[in-house]
Structure 1
Amino acid sequence: MASIDAKELLDFEEHWPRWSGRKDEAIRARFGVSSARYFQVLGRVLETVEALEARPMLTHRLRRRRDAAAAEQRRRHAS
């Protein structure tokens, strides 16, 4: 894998907003990486100015969803 283009990744994420087994297959087919690697790259892309300029509403929505999931995970581990 050379690199995943930020705009291409955001386009893909906009068309596949929810996780499913089919999304996993689509990630592998389109980007040639595992879903774990895809989400690592997505997390980094969401912190870039390029993502915010290209798709501000999508970037904010994905950041909120990511941050809420992280907060829930921390809450579970604290219990």
Structure 2
Amino acid sequence: MTSGAGGGADGAAPGADGRADDAGAGGLSARDTAVLAVERRSWPSAGPKERYIRERLGLSPTRYYQLLNALLDDVRALEHDPVTVNRLRRVRAARRTRR
């Protein structure tokens, strides 16, 4: 699946709960929607994706994947981008099954 992720870093400072303070589409922060946009894109390998995460989102890859994992359990993320969230939920479930 390819889709332009658009924009760059959201520039929002995280709140006390670690989420960006400004709520956007469907109650998701700009950072949350940016994370989902990264996952919508097709990446040739992990290197360019990790570089994008560091440079554009200002996150370490570890923190990015922590946020992504939490987003997969957030109903607002499912409402915002059901195709991406459901695909990632299936991938996560398959990985858990293999363990």
TM-score normalized with structure 1 length? 0.79
For structure 2, which runs of at least 5 residues remain unmatched after alignment?
Answer: 1-12, 15-19, 21-29
Asked if the contact 1:16/1:23 (under 8 Å) is kept, the reply is no
Q: Greater share of helix residues, 1 or 2? A: 1
The superposition leaves residues 14-49 of structure 1 with CA deviations (integer Å, 9 ceiling, x where unpaired) of: 014575111111110111111111001000011111
Asked if the contact 1:27/1:38 (under 8 Å) is kept, the reply is yes
2:76 matches 1:50 = yes
**Counterpart residue number, 1:71:** 97
**Greater relative contact order (CA < 8 Å, ≥ 6 in sequence):** 1
For residue 97 of structure 2, what is the amino acid of its counterpart?
A: A
Deviation at 1:56, TM superposition (A): 0.7
Identity of aligned residues (%): 36
Q: Runs in 1 of length 4+ with deviation above 2 angstroms?
A: 16-19
Aligned positions of 1:1-79 closer than 5 A: 2=14, 3=20, 5-16=31-42, 19-72=45-98, 74=99
Aligned length: 73
TM-score normalized with structure 2 length? 0.64
